[in-house]
A and B are shown apart, each in its own frame.
Chain A
Amino acid sequence: MTIAGAWYLGLAAVLFSIGALGLLIRRNVLVMFMCVELMLNAANLTFVTFARMMNDIGGQVLVFFVLVVAAAEVVVGLGIVVAIFRRRANATADDLHLMKG
């Protein structure tokens, strides 16, 4: 028999918290993107765990779609980062206040 699902869920919660903390305290845009990936991976781990606990393949299919969305998000996000860095070098998230009212 395998490990109880609660362990995986607890690990996913901790991983999501670390990702959220990094997103809040880091200022480099690229590292903030990596923290978003951490949070997405925590959600994926939760989906797979529930797929096993409830004996339902739908959770794994959803992870498949989350992977596609993550890939699309990274492509568009990095495109935005490249466009920003072309305009002003060495930008952190604090320097991007062009739309401030």
Chain B
Amino acid sequence: MLNLLNGVIIAPLAATHASWSDIGTFAVAAAVVLAGAIGVVIARNPVHAALMLVMTLFGIAVLFVLQRADFLAAVQVIVYAGAIVVLFLFVIMFLGVDKTESVRAEPLRGQRPLAAGLVALGLAGVLILGLVSHWTTGKASVAGAANGPGSNVFKLGRSVFTTYLFPFEITSALLVIAVVGAVVLARRPPSTGSDGPDAIGATDTAGATGAIDATGETLDAAGDITDPTTETIDEEVAP
């Protein structure tokens, strides 16, 4: 096994003559990525988990730069760390759920050891297969060369806007669908009273804006009252 390890892992590393700066950068970035990932899993506070996620994303961006994927590293930082994590933090703060979760509580007995065992088994399987099996790949450079001279942005852009033009157009439809879906989901449901334009139009005969607000408030309160009702119904139905 040690011989195998030496043959498969150490030898290629020595054979490629990786410079010590590359090795050091990779080691530091990998440590940052793994520390951030473990922090996301074990952090009790969701805000801490989000900040650990930022750490992981920056480490991944460094690994992208190390592999000459400059544009993707920039997009990684801008989109993931700049938009997605900010969206996470916004929702955490907005909902006021930044309470610590009781990590110890285990509703399903034995679920966590089972999950850890399954994940460890899968990881070991993938790593062992990667070490002992042969790699079969298809034709290289189908969509164009990634390495070699020329800027990364130029090659990526030419590929996106020629070979992958149709998927690129489809992503715009996907984004529009996501935006519409988010608006529909985040809207206050009509049954619990609404302060949207429809409700204002419906109660327009009430007159002053204050009256509309008061109506909205009472409807809101009624909506809140109905929630325990559904809860009890749910309890009754559940055995």
Residues on A close to B: CB < 8 A? 1-4, 6-11, 13-15, 17-22, 24-28, 30-31, 33-35, 37-38, 41, 44-45, 48-49, 51-52, 54-61, 63-65, 67-76, 78-83, 85-88, 90, 92, 94, 97-98, 100
Interface members, chain B 5-48 (any A CB < 8 Å): 8-9, 12-13, 16-19, 22-23, 26, 30, 33-34, 37-38, 40-41, 43, 46
- Taking a contact as CB atoms under 8 Å apart, the answer to whether B171 and A83 are in contact is no
Q: How far is the CA of A66 from the CA of B137 in the complex (A)?
A: 22
Q: How far is the CA of A98 from the CA of B79 in the complex (A)?
A: 34
- Taking a contact as CB atoms under 8 Å apart, the answer to whether A65 and B18 are in contact is no
Contact residues in B for A85 (Cβ distance below 8 Å) = 95, 97
Instruction: Flag whether B185 is at the interface (Cβ < 8 A).
Output: yes
- Taking a contact as CB atoms under 8 Å apart, the answer to whether A3 and B23 are in contact is yes
Q: Contacts A21-B119, A45-B63, A67-B79 hold; do A10 and B143 have CB atoms under 8 A apart?
A: no
Q: How far is the CA of A100 from the CA of B40 in the complex (A)?
A: 29
Contact residues in B for A71 (Cβ distance below 8 Å) = 79, 83-84, 175, 178
User: What total of A-B pairs shows CB separation below 8 Å?
Assistant: 254
Residues on B close to A: CB < 8 A? 8-9, 12-13, 16-19, 22-23, 26, 30, 33-34, 37-38, 40-41, 43, 46, 49-50, 53, 56-57, 60, 63-64, 66-69, 71-72, 75-76, 79-80, 83-84, 87-88, 91-92, 94-95, 97, 99, 101, 105, 107, 111-112, 115-116, 118-120, 122-123, 126-127, 130, 137, 140-148, 152, 155-156, 159-160, 163-164, 167-168, 171, 174-175, 177-179, 181-182, 184-186, 188, 227, 231, 234, 238
Residue ID in chain B nearest A58 by CB atoms: B143
Contact residues in B for A45 (Cβ distance below 8 Å) = 60, 63-64
Q: How far is the CA of A41 from the CA of B126 in the complex (A)?
A: 17
- Taking a contact as CB atoms under 8 Å apart, the answer to whether A76 and B16 are in contact is no
Interface of B is mostly: helix
Q: How far is the CA of A31 from the CA of B140 in the complex (A)?
A: 38
Interface of A is mostly: helix
